[in-house]
Structure 1
Amino acid sequence: MQPRARKTPSSRPCRLLFSVLAITLAPAVAHAEQARIAIAANFIGPAKELIAAYTKKTGDTIIPSFGSSGQFVVQIEHGAGYDAFLSADEAKPARLIQDGYGVQASRFTYAIGKLALWSPTPNLPASEATLRAASFQHIALCNPDLAPYGAAAVAALKALDVYQSLQPRFVMGMDIAQAYQFVQSGNAELGFVALSQLHAHPVGTVWLLPQFLYPPIRQDAVLLTNGAHNHAAQAFLSYLKSPEALTIITAYGYATP
């Protein structure tokens, strides 16, 4: 008499469990979307933190590009596939809406920037007196034609009546991130940066320029026509108005509306 064949456990319960899990997880995967967002260079620090927090909440993928606001406008006008734009000023998003590249009524101020003079050199403190004494070879700022923080720096220098005398010492960055790098690398002894860039408390001294020396830097966001039907882009812009997002933004030294 031959021994009876041993029965193996049925795979049906495993298949059933897998099917249930697939049905449960499918909606979350199906609704996760992605958006490409152009972001002004001064906002790199908070943007990375905001994107991480938003992604954790929603599962959406936000693909950021950082650079000068002026360059982004040119790219958008030439068909770059961004879904939303976080500018360093309010004029550029307004212009994009007027020219048909931005969604009407989507524009809002997500942060109000602050301009700072930074010197990592202990014997060259960042101050109005240092600007007037001009005891340095180079001072960094970003291109005022492309970057609003550069325009704010020029306005402040003119208000202090030192623009003409200091102009030969300018080291010009394409955006505020490059201006910061010029100072950090020693290519300029001091420079105009966004206060938010100093969030990590670098060595040296910082002079927060009085608001009356330059026009307010109201940084506006806009949903672009390319992303008019992109859920992730719309939801991320809405998230920027949430209490959680505003807490992150103000922690980097920005004011909020």
Structure 2
Amino acid sequence: MQLKIVHMLVRRAVPVLLAIASLAAWPAGRASASTPPVARARVAVAANFSEVAHLLAAQYTRRSGNRIDISVASTGKLYAQIRHGAPFDVLLAADDSTPQRLVDEGLAVRSSLYDYARGRLVLWSRDAALVADGEQVLRRHDFRKFAIANPALAPYGAAARQVLQHVGRWDTLQPRLVLGENVGQATQFVLSGNAEAGLLPRSLVLEAQRQVGGSAWLVPADWHRPIVQSAVLLDHGRDNPAAIGFLEYLRDDTARRTIAAHGYD
């Protein structure tokens, strides 16, 4: 008799349990069907724009849910990596010629070319008294060591060379130059005291001044070719929604304010 009662209870409980299980599973299944999968993009970023790129990537992720992975190097080095098949989806260069070259070589999407920032050079030293008169210091000071980014790899380095040529110091300072592989490394030379001063991106000098102070002078923009920084969607990312969305986000007012706040025109 007891066995029959147990069987009867089990038969009555099974439908109820099945109904509960189906109700529990139904909302999760519906949510997953309506929520788009998270996309991920790899963005190659010129060293001068590293800090801002990480901020913009975080803002974009909060807005879209998509993920952005940042890789930082000099524009020249990033170009070489892309040419050799590095799986980047977007390039944020420190010039406008490298993205254009990638388009011409069939490695980037022409319609996506976009100027996202215009950079400025600053003469900066850790010494709070050194750059009292920036132009005179640049023209006449007997620098022990002077830091710039490698002109062959970094557009800011090429601009720094033009500035030194403009003031007639390129030949005399060459034996005392310490060349960073990128502007981040060049800034570290000055930050660490290994170089007395340097010609560096305003964006990186602002951050360095928050750390150690020092003295700085904004180089006149007409002393070198304009530092126009362009972005482009690479062929590897032409169908990547995270890459396309991130490039679109660079045009957003929030992104523009973030870029301007870090020293870009």
Q: Is the Cα contact below 8 Å between 2:94 and 2:230 reproduced in 1?
A: yes
Superposed CA deviations along residues 19-50 of structure 1, whole A, max 9, x for unmatched, are 303421444352x1001110000001111110
Query: Is the partner of 1:36 in helix, strand or coil?
Result: strand
Residue 46 of structure 1 corresponds to which residue in structure 2?
A: 52
Residue 30 of structure 2 corresponds to which residue in structure 1?
A: 23
Q: Is the Cα contact below 8 Å between 2:129 and 2:215 reproduced in 1?
A: no
Pairwise CA RMSD: 2.0
The percentage of aligned residue pairs carrying the same residue is: 41
Alignment of 1:105-254 (within 5 A): 105-125=111-131, 127-200=134-207, 201-202=210-211, 203-254=213-264
Residue 66 of structure 2 corresponds to which residue in structure 1?
A: 60
Provide the rounded CA distance (Å) in 2 between the counterparts of 1:50 and 1:98: 28
Structure 2 residue ranges without an equivalent (≥5): none
Provide the rounded CA distance (Å) in 1 between the counterparts of 2:30 and 2:205: 47
Provide the rounded CA distance (Å) in 2 between the counterparts of 1:142 and 1:40: 12
Superposed CA deviations along residues 157-215 of structure 1, whole A, max 9, x for unmatched, are 11111111111110000100000111111110111111111333341011110011011
Between stretches 172-181 and 128-137, larger displacement belongs to 128-137
Provide the rounded CA distance (Å) in 2 between the counterparts of 1:69 and 1:148: 7
Query: Is the partner of 1:167 in helix, strand or coil?
Result: helix
Q: Aligned-pair distance for 1:240?
A: 0.3
Q: Is the Cα contact below 8 Å between 1:38 and 1:86 reproduced in 2?
A: yes
Q: Is the Cα contact below 8 Å between 1:39 and 1:86 reproduced in 2?
A: yes
Provide the rounded CA distance (Å) in 1 between the counterparts of 2:105 and 2:149: 26
Paired residue for 1:81, among 61, 71, 87?
Answer: 87
Provide the rounded CA distance (Å) in 1 between the counterparts of 2:86 and 2:124: 34
Provide the rounded CA distance (Å) in 2 between the counterparts of 1:248 and 1:46: 7
Q: How many residues align?
A: 253
The residue identity in structure 2 corresponding to 1:168 is P
Q: Is 2:105 the counterpart of 1:99? A: yes
Q: Aligned-pair distance for 1:10?
A: 5.2
Q: Is the Cα contact below 8 Å between 2:57 and 2:68 reproduced in 1?
A: yes
Q: Aligned-pair distance for 1:248?
A: 0.5
Q: Is the Cα contact below 8 Å between 2:91 and 2:232 reproduced in 1?
A: yes
TM-score normalised per structure 2? 0.89
Structure 1 residue ranges without an equivalent (≥5): none
Q: Is the Cα contact below 8 Å between 1:134 and 1:166 reproduced in 2?
A: no
Q: Aligned-pair distance for 1:133?
A: 2.6
